[in-house]
Amino acid sequence: MVEITDSLACLYTGRVESRGDEYVVTVPASEIEHGSVSVGETYRIAVLDRAGPEEGESASNADGGASVPDGDGASTGTPSEDGKRPTSRGAAGAVQPDPPVSEGEVRDVTIETLGDKGDGIAKIERGYVVIVPDAEPGEEPTVEITSVRENVSFANVVEE
């Protein structure tokens, strides 16, 4: 089983590409747009084999870095290897956990930053992004999740 730290900034599937004397992992534009990562900043990454770790082997990054797996695969809702947690398969076939929230769920969040359109952005488990309109950085509202996608959800403030 893969252990995922709470400090994970983003999780997606990507390809390692050769560019001259360097090897590059491309970050999807959606991760920048949602504030998961910022252009020009430096991040730790953990690269997981697309087949995943062997039974009993941990793939956690003790330093709490971001990982490489992708948000553009269809969600199949298949059970995880232990049969308890729901998961999805990304474009490369890597098993990924389903979003940690569901529509209608009420959560307390902390607004960390503002998105490009002025909406508040909070991160919850595994760096999963919750977008909250009319919220400001530092606020800690109670929100209701109104829409859930693979790597981002939208919520409305129900109590400040």
Percent of the chain, pLDDT > 90?
Answer: 31
Helix (H) or strand (E) holding 31, with range, is helix 29-33
Reported as a pLDDT band with limits 50, 70 and 90, residue 82 is very low
CATH architecture for residues 106-159: Beta Barrel (2.40)
Structure confidence at residue 60 as a pLDDT band (50, 70, 90)? very low
Residue 105 to residue 100: CA distance in whole angstroms: 10
Who wins on pLDDT, 28 or 76? 28
Average pLDDT rounded to a whole number, residues 12-39: 82
With bands split at pLDDT 50, 70 and 90, how would you rate the model's confidence at 83? very low
pLDDT average, residue stretch 22-42:
82
Per-domain residue ranges of the chain = 1-98, 106-159
